[in-house]
Each structure stands twice: as structure tokens, then as C-alpha cells.
């Protein structure tokens, strides 16, 4: 069995929802990596700004980390990027739903 067949077999066993979540985590990792680059930061500098270890940043950038919303908001603030699109909702709309 060649590598392509093995990969196809493994991917075929992943359910659609899980595959979509994996893809989204990878997209987050790419967006974070682009934000770090755009800010002109090294991973170490970014880790310092986030009060994290560089090894944790490496884990984030692999695309398999399951972020908390608080961490995503902190990343947005440090890198001045938008990772979660909740900004379309107005404060008034949020208050009305409570």
C-alpha cells in the first residue's frame, strides 16, 4: 500500500464533522501565523506578549490545538486580527437577546 492509499484510508475514516473541525483549526493556525508575521514578531516574542511558553505557540501553529474563546480573544488583541466573527452583532442586539 503506498502513502497516498494510506492517507486516503485514514481520511476516509474521519467523519465529516471532525474533518471540518480539523480544517478550521488549521485555518486558525494559518491566520495566527500570518498575524505574527505581519506584526514582525518572532514566535518567542509573540509567546512573551501572550505570557505563554514558545512551545505552546508551536503547538498552536501546528493546527491541532483546541483554543478557548478567551485565548482567541487575547490573540486577536495582541495581533490586531479577527479570528472569530462576532463583531457583526451590535451591542443593542446582544442586550435585546438577554
Q: pTM of the entire structure?
A: 0.73
User: Which one, of 68, 46, 67, lies nearest residue 57 by Cα?
Assistant: 46
Residue 45 CA: distances (Å) to CA of 15, 30, 34, 70: 37, 18, 14, 20
CA distance 13 to 58: 27
Q: Is 81 helix (H, G, I), strand (E, B) or coil?
A: coil
| DSSP 8-state secondary structure symbol assigned to residue 25 | H
47-78 pLDDT per residue, tens = 999 999 999 999 999 998 999 999 999 999 99
When pLDDT is cut at 50, 70 and 90, the band that residue 6 belongs to is: confident
Average pLDDT, the chain: 86
Amino acid at each position: 500500500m503506498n502513502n497516498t492509499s494510506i492517507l486516503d484510508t485514514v481520511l476516509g475514516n474521519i467523519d465529516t464533522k471532525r474533518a471540518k473541525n480539523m480544517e478550521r483549526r488549521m485555518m486558525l493556525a494559518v491566520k495566527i501565523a500570518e498575524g505574527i508575521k505581519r506584526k514582525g514578531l518572532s514566535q518567542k516574542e509573540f509567546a512573551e506578549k501572550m505570557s505563554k511558553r514558545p512551545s505552546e505557540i508551536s503547538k498552536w501553529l501546528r493546527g491541532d490545538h483546541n483554543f478557548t474563546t478567551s485565548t482567541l480573544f487575547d490573540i486577536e488583541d495582541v495581533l490586531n486580527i479577527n479570528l472569530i466573527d462576532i463583531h457583526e452583532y451590535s451591542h443593542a442586539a446582544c442586550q435585546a437577546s438577554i
